[in-house]
Amino acid sequence: MNPSNLDDLKRAAALKAVEYVRDGMVVGLGTGSTAKHVMLALGERIKKGLKIKGVPTSQETARLARKAKIPLLPDDEVWPIDVAIDGADQVDPQFNLVKGGGGALLKEKIVAAAAKRFIVVVDHTKRVPVLGGSFPLPVEIIPFGWRNTAQKIEACGGNAVLRKRDGKIFKTETGHYILDVQIARIDRPAELELQLNALPGVVENGLFVARTSVLIVGTPAGVEEQHAGH
Is it the case that residue 1 has pLDDT exceeding 60? no
Question: What span, in angstroms and rounded, lies between the C-alpha atoms of 50 and 60?
Answer: 22
Is 108 catalytic? The answer is yes
pLDDT tens digits, 167-207: 999 999 999 999 999 999 999 999 999 999 999 999 999 99
pLDDT of residue 230: 67
pLDDT of residue 229: 78
Would you call 17 helix, strand, or coil by DSSP?
helix
84 residue type, one letter: A
* Percentage of the chain lying above the pLDDT 90 cut: 94
pLDDT tens digits, 66-112: 999 999 999 999 999 999 999 999 999 999 999 999 999 999 999 99
CB contact set of 206 (below 8 Å; sequence gap of 6+): 89, 97, 98, 99, 100, 105, 137, 138, 139
User: What is the reported pTM?
Assistant: 0.95
Catalytic choice (60, 77, 108, 173): 108
Domain annotation for the chain: domains and CATH numbers:
3-125+210-218 (3.40.50.1360), 137-204 (3.30.70.260)
The overall average pLDDT reported for the chain is: 96
Strand order in the sheet with 159-162: 159-162, 177-182, 137-141, 202-205
* Percentage of the chain lying above the pLDDT 70 cut: 98
pLDDT tens digits, 117-137: 999 999 999 999 999 999 999
Would you call 166 helix, strand, or coil by DSSP?
coil
Is it the case that residue 41 has pLDDT exceeding 70? yes
Q: Give me the mean pLDDT over the 5-21 stretch.
A: 95
The alpha carbon of 16 is separated from its chain's Cα centroid by a whole number of angstroms, namely: 18
